[in-house]
A and B are shown apart, each in its own frame.
Chain A
Amino acid sequence: MNPLLFLGREFLNKMTGPDVPAEEREAYRDSLAVYSGSDEGAATPALLISSFNDLKPHDYEGFTPDAILWFVDWIASQENPEQAAVLRPAVFQSIFTAFEEPHVRLRVVEVALQWEEARGVRPESSVLRSIYEIAGEDRDLVLDALRVDRGEYARGVMDRLGA
């Protein structure tokens, strides 16, 4: 595992662990946001995204579904488009593969869709096509996320799934 993530994993768990009091979790998230917004911490988002880009499939075993959901939501909340663009779309597929929990899978598909739409990815190049291929019995989750989005990009991707 990437050394930064190895060290930061405990912090991720503090931000997301259900056994950590809610107020404490929020304080950890707030502190990361404030640090990332400071001059000395400005590189943090890019470093964190790069670390996720480097993860091997077995590395995901070290993360809880709550931690991964936090990461996915954090990606969706990145205001700097250049920063979020550092993420490799394959990460979405890796998360989908590593976690069988339906709420994680559904959410990662939604965020992948938003991420691609915001970056002008062409529907034929969408990672959702690969995810759909490997989704097995959870293909309906992928289709559901596309259907309820009701946006033009989601429709374009759905057309190319051949569903």
Chain B
Amino acid sequence: MAFDPNKLRNFTGLDHDIDKYITGFSRQSYDGKFSPTQHVIKYLPPSRVKLFQQSARPTSSPKRLFAAHKPGYTWGDAVYICPLKWPFSSMLYGRAGVVGTVAPQRVYDAVDPQGITYYQQWIQAQSKWYDLLTTTIHEEVANRYLGNRFRTYFQLDCVFFHPDQIAPPYSDRRQDIWFGITHEVNGRVACGLTSAVANPELVRGAMRGICSAQGQDGLRRAARTRAAEREAAAVHR
């Protein structure tokens, strides 16, 4: 479900600059890099494949991914996924690939340094959470809630950013881009099963096709991950 833009709070000062960044630069940046309906992939540990297969309700409707909530996630509670341009980038998280599509309306470019700067400036006005982030042992929890608060306040459906976990050979932190896709409930970032990633389906033997579509770079990566691919195929059988 997409945010309702009418629920935006009254913007002042820095908020206006950030909103302009969202509707201008961020949007153009996203449109220049990705399709309006972008295919994405999420990797799950094999132990969670069965849960994913049971996630449709009613059973005839599409399955749903889980918008996770834990302090360690960079931009707060979200479905963390990767555009198919980089099919193996997030493979450090699992061996079972789920492919779906996203068509976010309000996006935030956190690849560009300006996006990072705006976020860092904005959270400084969130006095208590910022205090907890910078001066207490609760910084992970505070970081999570600040990310959620920012994305709720600006009604962001997607934040895109370079991977912040270095996991050769899968992710290239300078080139790859990951998405944090929002699960929205009552106009706020939430956690739980979500339809924010449309029509997610387990990848069944399609990994080689994806590699071919990516050209030589994809093939090189595929070669490095052959063992992982075999494992994934075994899970899906």
Contact = CB atoms under 8 A, between A and B. Distances in A.
Contact of A31 (B51, B138, B188): B51
A84 to B, nearest CB: 9
Interface residues of B, number: 36
B132 A102 contact: yes
Interface stretch (A6-14, A124-132, A142-150): A142-150
Contacts of B132: 102-103, 106
A34 B126 contact: no
A114 B193 CA distance: 20
Given A37-B193, A79-B185, A150-B9, A25 B70 contact: yes
B47 A33 contact: no
Contact of A29 (B69, B142, B183): B69
Interface string B57-88: 10000001010111010000100000000000
A76 B138 CA distance: 20
A30 B51 CA distance: 7
A101 interface: yes
Given A33-B192, A144-B127, A69 B141 contact: yes
B69 A34 contact: no
Contact of B185 (A76, A106, A141): A76
Nearest to B193: A33
A38 B47 CA distance: 19
Contacts of B145: 103, 107
Nearest to B126: A148
B54 to A, nearest CB: 5
Which interface residue of A23, A27, A77, A150 has the most chain B CB atoms within 10 A? A77
A156 interface: no
B69 A73 contact: yes
A22 interface: yes
Given A103-B141, A118-B186, A77 B66 contact: no
A145 B10 contact: no
10 contacts: A26-B66, A27-B45, A30-B48, A79-B185, A102-B128, A102-B136, A103-B142, A107-B145, A144-B127, A150-B9
Q: Which 4 A-B pairs have the closest CB atoms?
A: A77-B190, A144-B128, A103-B138, A30-B66
